[in-house]
Chains A and B, each alone.
Chain A
Amino acid sequence: ESLDDSQVAEVCAAAEVIRYEYHVLYSSSYQVPVLYFRACFLDGRPLTLDEIWRSVHACYQARLLEGPWDTITQQEHPLLGQPFFVLHPCRTYEFMSSVLTGSQKEKRHTNYIILWLSTVGPVVGLNLPLSYAKLSAGKNTNA
Chain B
Amino acid sequence: MTDDKDVLRDVWFGRIPTCFTLYQDEITEREAEPYYLLLPRISYLTLVTDKVKKHFQKVMRQEEVSEIWFEYEGTPLKWHYPIGLLFDLHASNTALPWSITVHFKNFPEKDLLHCHSKDVIEAHFMACIKEADALKHKSQVINEMQKKDHKQLWMGLQNDKFEQFWAINRKLMEYPPEDSGFRYIPFRIYQATTERPFVQKLFRPIASGGQLHTLGDLLKDVCPSAVTSEDGEQKTQVMIHGIEPMLETPIQWLSEHMSYPDNFLHISIIPRPTD
What is the interface of chain A, defined by CB distance below 8 A to chain B?
Answer: 28-30, 46, 48-49, 69-70, 73-76, 78-83, 88, 90
Contacts and interface: CB of A to CB of B under 8 A. Distances in A.
State the main secondary structure of chain B at its contact with A: loop
B113 A76 contact: yes
B200 A78 contact: yes
Nearest to A74: B113
B127 interface: yes
B143 to A, nearest CB: 9
A78 B197 contact: yes
B197 A90 contact: no
Contact of B131 (A30, A73, A79, A83): A30
B201 A28 contact: yes
Given A28-B201, A30-B131, A74-B114, A79 B196 contact: yes
B200 A83 contact: no
B78 A76 contact: yes
Given A29-B131, A90-B130, A83 B119 contact: no
20 contacts: A28-B200, A29-B131, A29-B186, A29-B200, A30-B131, A30-B134, A49-B116, A69-B122, A69-B123, A70-B123, A73-B123, A73-B124, A75-B124, A76-B78, A78-B197, A80-B197, A81-B195, A81-B196, A83-B109, A90-B134
B113 A29 contact: no
Contact of A78 (B80, B122, B198): B198
Contacts of B113: 74-76, 83
* Interface core residue of A46, A70, A90 (most chain B CB under 10 Å): A90
B127 A73 contact: yes
Given A29-B135, A29-B200, 14 more contacts: A28-B200, A30-B134, A49-B114, A69-B122, A73-B120, A75-B127, A76-B78, A80-B197, A81-B111, A81-B195, A81-B196, A83-B111, A83-B112, A83-B114
B51 to A, nearest CB: 26
Interface in B198-235: 198, 200-202
A109 B131 CA distance: 31
Interface of B: 78, 80, 109-114, 116, 119-120, 122-124, 127, 130-131, 134-135, 139, 186, 195-198, 200-202
A110 to B, nearest CB: 23
A44 B179 CA distance: 52
Contacts of A75: 113, 124, 127
Nearest to B122: A69
Contacts of A46: 109
A80 B122 CA distance: 24
A82 B134 contact: no
* Interface core residue of B124, B131, B134, B195 (most chain A CB under 10 Å): B134
Contacts of B134: 29-30, 90
Contacts of A76: 78, 80, 113, 197
* Interface core residue of B123, B130, B135 (most chain A CB under 10 Å): B123
A69 B119 contact: yes
Nearest to A73: B123
A88 B202 CA distance: 19
A42 to B, nearest CB: 16
A97 to B, nearest CB: 14
A81 B197 contact: yes
Contacts of B123: 69-70, 73
A76 B135 CA distance: 19
Contacts of B119: 69
A28 B222 CA distance: 14
Contacts of A90: 130, 134, 139
A64 to B, nearest CB: 14
Contacts of A29: 131, 134-135, 186, 200
Given A29-B131, A73-B127, A90-B134, A82 B110 contact: yes
A9 to B, nearest CB: 32
